[in-house]
Structures are given as C-alpha cells and as structure tokens.
Amino acid sequence: METPTRATLTPDAALALLFVALNVADAWTTAYLTTHGAIEVNPVMAQVLANGIATFVTLKVGVSMILATFLVRYTPWSLKVLCVSFVGVVAWQVTLCVTT
C-alpha cells in the first residue's frame, strides 16, 4: 500500500493565488471607494460597475482566475510583474479607504 503524498504549492502556483487575492482586494476596495464617491477610471470596468457591484466583483475575480490559470502555465514570469503592480494598486486603494 502506497503512502499518500502531500500536495505542495509551487512558487508559480503561489504567485497565481497571490494575483487572484490581490484582484479580490482591488475589487472590494474599488467597490468601497465607488460607494463613497470615487469613480472607476478604467472605462471598461466603469461600464461593468454600472451594472452593479456584485457583477463588477464577480467579473473581475473570474477574469483574474482565468488569467492566472493561463499565465501560470504559459508565462509564469509575468505573474511577478502583475503581482508587484497590483500590490501598488491595492496599497494606494487601501490608503484611500482609510483616509476617506
């Protein structure tokens, strides 16, 4: 009888999860800020947000999951760049949430 092996999280998979988590944080901070008077500057996402916060968050998180799956398989290095970028975006939005 074989001993069950423990699943391990690869660095690329961890980056993919971080990318999705940062997108969740971005979606929720955007939702918070727009309900407090801010505007979404991305015109495509502004149209999605006009259909409701639930639609906005669902689409943003869903697309980020699909994108992370694609990137981890074909260009995992790009996840590093995107994660660094999103850390900046989320840090800025959290700052705005705290100061508004």
Q: pLDDT, tens digit, for every residue of 37-81?
A: 999 999 999 999 999 999 999 999 999 999 999 999 999 999 999
Q: Is the pTM of this model over 0.85?
A: yes
C-alpha 71/C-alpha 86 separation (Å) is 15
Q: Domain map of the chain by residue range?
A: 11-99
Q: pLDDT, tens digit, for every residue of 9-33?
A: 899 999 999 999 999 999 999 999 9
CB 15 within 8 A of CB 82: no
C-alpha 6/C-alpha 28 separation (Å) is 33
